[in-house]
Amino acid sequence: MKKLLIFDLDGTLAESKAAIDTEMADHLTALLEVAHVAIISGGDWPQFKKQVLDHLPKKNLQQKLSILPTCGTKFYQYDKEWKQLYAENFTAEEKEKIIKNLNDAISEAGWKITKTWGEQIEDRGSQVTFSALGQSAPLKEKKDWDPDFSKRKKVQTILNKSLSEFSVTLGGTTSIDVTKPGIDKAYGIQKLKEVLEIEISEMMFVGDALFKGGNDYPSRKTGVICVQVRDPEETKRVIETFVACLNDSYKGKEI
What amino acid positions are annotated as catalytic residues?
8, 10
Looking at residue 211, the DSSP 8-state letter turns out to be S
Spatial separation of the C-alpha atoms in residues 120 and 137, rounded to whole Å: 10
Whether 227 contacts 216, CB under 8 Å = no
Whether 84 contacts 54, CB under 8 Å = no
Q: Is 104 a known ligand-binding residue?
A: no
- Name the residue among 197, 193, 222 with its Cα closest to residue 207: 222
Q: Is 123 a known ligand-binding residue?
A: no
Q: Is 8 a known ligand-binding residue?
A: yes
Q: Is 237 a known ligand-binding residue?
A: no
Q: Looking at beta carbons, which pairs linking 94-99 to residues 24 or more positions away fall under 8 Å?
A: 94/166, 94/180, 95/123, 95/128, 97/163, 98/128, 98/163, 98/166, 98/178, 99/128
Provide the phi-psi class of 240: left if phi over 0, else alpha when psi is between -120 and 50, else beta: alpha
Q: Is 146 a known ligand-binding residue?
A: no
Spatial separation of the C-alpha atoms in residues 190 and 222, rounded to whole Å: 8
Q: Is 177 a known ligand-binding residue?
A: yes
Binding residues for alpha-D-mannose 1-phosphate: 124, 175, 177
Binding residues for Mg(2+): 8, 10, 208
Binding residues: 8, 10, 124, 175, 177, 208
